[in-house]
Each structure stands twice: as structure tokens, then as C-alpha cells.
């Protein structure tokens, strides 16, 4: 076996992948891409924030199967070539519903995934996050920046959980030789997001389509950098298929930086909505700036995003319109 993984190994055997969180927004795109490459895919999900409808079209493929299970419980036995660990609610209101549970998904779940990786010699992909940089004092954020997370705040269950998960990945790599691929994901949007999960892109599009007020928290001068899902998934696969010596962490995100207020204005314009914008307080510890430095992804993986924000929104708005049964008032072409 060489360092570059393909859907078939050197003996021509079909490769098998376990995708935790595979019924979620990003996980469902990972499952679809793996199937398109001819891999056998086991999707493991407890459906806490994921939806079976995201993977229903994939389940008609005989190479795809679904197991309803929690990553905090001992994982079902199996022999996998690769394990993609995406199980964890990603939206702040969702991961704060059960903060203790969120921390344990990231620690116990990660340990269970890595133990399985040791047992079957699988390569392990970890969906880490820009949240490990907290409210950053370095801008844009490079992988070498160690972050500024409030360890006792309401976001810490997620941020510190993800930081501990990265630590476990690197300790299993050094101690047991597990092949790891750690990606730090910056805010990503697109089809298969749950319209109700509370993240800013989905909230704004749904509200705009419904003619309901868009709630901008904290005046909206805080920034985020929004990546279209197809670009992110391409980055995932370039990393996962890269030489074993490339462990990450690698930032994958779109460096185009927008204030939350700018995002609201763009979405109102693109949907032709007459919704008003209303101010709401900034949630505790909400990072004021976020933008990835993606030079490392460019250098190691030859990766850069291709779909700019307006193009990505143009592709996403019809999805949210279908999900919510709303009409789009303007022609997006
Ligand atoms: P999502 O909430 O749509 O998907 C998460 C999936 O994990 C869901 O299907 C959910 O049911 C499942 N899950 C949650 N807890 C579980 C448990 N205990 N056992 C089994 N399954 C469980 O979120 P997403 O946007 O698809 O995010 C996927 C991963 O990427 C997460 O790990 C998230 O932290 C990471 N990430 C996403 C973004 C983003 O912008 N989308 C940014 C940074 C990191
Ligand atoms: N936000 C907002 N209105 C909303 C949802 C979110 O103003 O309806 C803000 C939120 O305070 C944050 C940014 O948009 O500053 C991104 O929020 P999201 O929950 O999508 O992601 P994260 O904070 O994890 O980056």
C-alpha cells in the first residue's frame, strides 16, 4: 500500500470506509463522494442533528449501509480502510443544548474511533474546527496559532472538546502509529444543511425566504469566512488521499471575509426579500474575527476554493426554498 489511498487497494479489493456523523450536512457529502469512488460505506450516526433524508438517496446503492449508534458507546466491530470522524453537532445552539454530551462526543467518541483505527489499521480523518482558535488574536489564522479559547464559557464544550480530540489524534499517532488526517474546517454552507439548525447562513436564507426578520447578533460587525461545501469536500479528499506523512492540522476554508451584516445584506438582495434586519445581543464568547490562512493547504494539497460566496449562495438558495416550501422572488441567474 502506498501513501495515496484510492477506492481500491493494491490488490484490487473494494475499500471500506466508516463515516461517523454521516447523516449530517458534511457527512452526507463525504458518503456520496466515497460511493462515487466505488468505496463501500458504513454511515454511523445517532441522528442527534443529522437527518436520514440526507442519505436516503445513497441507501439505494448496495455499497452503502446505515447504523444508528452513538460514537460515545463502544463502536460496532468492523474492518475499515479508513474512518472519517464527523460525529458532533456543529451549530452553536445545537451543541450547547447538552454541553456535557458535546464534550464527551469529542473525547470519548474520538477515543473510540482511534481505538478502532488501531484495531483495524485504518487511516483516521478528524473534522476539527476553526473554533480551536477561539476569539483569535492572530488574523488571519495560521495552523501555528495556538488560539484563545475561554475554557469555562458556553462554547468551550465544543472548542475544548475539539482541541482535546486533536490531542488524542496526535497522541495515538505518536504512541500507536495510527495514520491521522486532521482538518480545521471554517464556516461551511450548502445543500443538506438542516434549515433549522441555527447557523447564520441557513438562518438568514430561511428567514429571507419566509419574509421574517433576519436577526443580526451584536451589531453584525463580527466577521466570518464562508466556504461552499463542494470546495470543502474536495479539500477533505485531497488531504485524506495525501501521503501518510501529511497529518495536518490543515485549515480548509474560504479566505473571503465578510461581516455578518454584509452577509445579511447579500442574502436579502439575492432572495429579493423585503425582510427587515433586527439587532439581537452577541452571544457570549462569539469570536469577533475569523478568516483562514490557507497557504498550507495550497502548498501541501494544491487546494484552494473555487466557488465564491455569491455563487455558492446561488446554488444554496434553491435548496433552502425546496426544504421550506418557499418561493424565491428573484431570478438567481
Ligand atoms: P451536522 O450537525 O449537520 O452533522 C453532525 C452529525 O453528527 C449529525 O448527523 C449528527 O446526528 C451526528 N452526531 C452528533 N452526535 C453524535 C453522536 N454522539 N454519535 C453519532 N453521531 C452523532 O454538522 P456538520 O456541519 O455536518 O459538521 C460535521 C463535522 O464537521 C462536525 O464534527 C463539526 O464539528 C465539523 N465542523 C463543521 C463545520 C461547518 O461549518 N459545517 C465547521 C467546523 C467543524
Ligand atoms: N449569527 C447571527 N444571526 C443568526 C445566527 C448567527 O448574527 O441568526 C452570528 C453569530 O453570532 C456569529 C456568526 O453569525 O457571529 C456565525 O454564526 P454561526 O452560528 O453560523 O457560526 P459560528 O459562530 O460557530 O462561527
Q: Among 183, 217, 219, 218, which residue's Cα sits nearest to residue 200?
A: 217
* CA dihedral (53, 55, 57, 62) positive or negative: negative
Q: State what percent of residues in the chain have pLDDT above 90.
A: 94
Q: Cα separation of 76 and 69, whole Å?
A: 9
Nearest-atom index, ligand 2, CA of 222:
15
Over 80: is that where the pLDDT of 52 sits? yes
Say whether pTM exceeds 0.90: yes
C-alpha cell at 175: 504512541
User: What are the beta bridge partners of residue 279?
Assistant: 216
pLDDT tens for residues 118-149?
999 999 999 999 999 999 999 999 999 999 99
What is the gyration radius of the CA atoms in the chain, in angstroms? Answer: 19
Contacts of 214 (CB under 8 A, 6+ apart): 203, 204, 207, 208, 264, 267, 268, 275, 276, 277, 278
pLDDT tens for residues 254-294?
999 999 999 999 999 999 999 999 999 999 999 999 999 99
Query: What H or E segment, with its residue span, contains residue 173?
Result: helix 156-176
Q: How many residues does the chain have?
A: 333
Residue 289 CB–ligand 2 contact under 6 Å: no
CA–CA–CA angle 94, 21, 54 (5° rounding):
90
User: Are 159 and 149 spatial neighbours (Cβ–Cβ below 8 Å)?
Assistant: yes
The answer to whether residue 176 is catalytic is no
Ligand 1 centre to CA of 49 (Å) is 7
Nearest-atom index, ligand 1, CA of 227:
40
| Three-state DSSP class for residue 35 | helix
Could you give all domains of the chain from N- to C-terminal order, each with its CATH number? 16-189+227-252 (3.40.50.720)
Contacts of 38 (CB under 8 A, 6+ apart): 7, 8, 14, 15, 63
Over 80: is that where the pLDDT of 219 sits? yes
Nearest-atom index, ligand 2, CA of 131:
24
DSSP string, 247-288: ---EEES---EEEHHHHHHHHHHHHT----EEEEPPPTT--S
Counting ligands in written order, the one closest to the CA of 281 is 2
Ligand 2: residue whose CA is nearest its atom 4: 200
Amino acid at each position: 500500500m502506498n501513501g495515496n489511498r484510492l477506492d481500491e487497494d493494491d490488490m484490487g479489493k473494494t475499500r471500506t470506509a466508516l463515516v461517523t456523523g454521516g447523516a449530517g450536512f458534511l457527512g452526507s457529502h463525504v458518503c456520496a463522494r466515497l460511493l462515487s469512488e466505488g468505496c463501500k460505506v458504513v454511515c454511523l450516526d445517532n441522528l442527534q442533528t443529522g437527518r436520514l433524508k440526507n442519505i436516503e438517496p445513497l441507501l439505494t446503492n448496495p455499497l452503502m449501509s446505515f447504523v444508528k449508534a452513538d460514537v460515545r458507546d463502544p463502536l460496532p466491530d468492523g474492518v475499515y480502510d479508513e474512518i472519517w470522524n464527523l460525529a458532533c453537532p456543529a451549530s452553536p445552539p445545537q451543541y450547547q443544548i447538552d454541553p456535557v454530551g458535546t464534550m464527551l462526543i469529542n473525547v470519548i467518541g474520538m477515543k473510540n474511533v482511534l481505538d478502532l483505527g488501531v484495531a483495524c489499521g485504518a487511516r483516521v480523518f478528524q473534522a476539527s474546527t476553526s473554533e480551536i482558535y477561539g476569539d483569535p488574536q492572530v488574523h488571519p489564522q495560521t495552523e501555528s496559532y495556538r488560539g484563545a479559547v475561554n475554557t469555562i464559557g458556553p462554547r468551550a464544550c465544543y472548542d475544548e472538546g475539539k482541541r482535546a480530540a486533536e490531542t488524542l489524534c496526535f497522541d495515538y499517532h505518536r504512541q500507536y502509529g495510527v495514520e491521522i488526517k486532521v482538518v480545521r474546517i471554517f464556516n461551511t454552507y450548502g445543500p443538506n444543511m438542516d434549515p433549522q439548525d441555527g447557523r447564520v447562513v441557513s438562518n438568514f436564507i430561511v428567514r429571507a425566504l419566509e419574509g421574517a426578520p433576519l436577526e443580526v447578533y451584536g451589531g453584525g460587525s463580527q466577521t466570518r469566512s464562508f466556504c461552499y461545501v463542494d470546495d470543502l469536500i474536495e479539500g477533505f479528499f485531497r488531504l485524506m488521499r495525501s501521503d501518510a506523512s501529511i497529518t495536518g492540522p490543515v485549515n480548509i476554508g474560504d479566505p473571503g471575509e465578510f461581516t455578518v451584516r454584509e452577509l445579511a445584506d447579500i442574502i436579502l438582495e439575492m432572495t429579493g426579500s423585503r425582510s427587515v434586519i433586527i439587532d439581537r445581543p452577541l452571544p457570549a464568547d462569539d469570536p469577533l474575527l475569523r478568516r483562514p490562512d490557507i497557504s498550507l493547504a495550497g502548498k501541501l494539497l494544491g487546494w484552494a476554493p473555487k466557488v465564491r460566496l455569491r455563487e455558492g449562495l446561488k446554488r444554496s438558495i434553491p435548496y433552502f426554498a425546496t426544504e421550506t416550501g418557499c418561493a424565491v422572488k428573484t431570478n438567481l441567474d
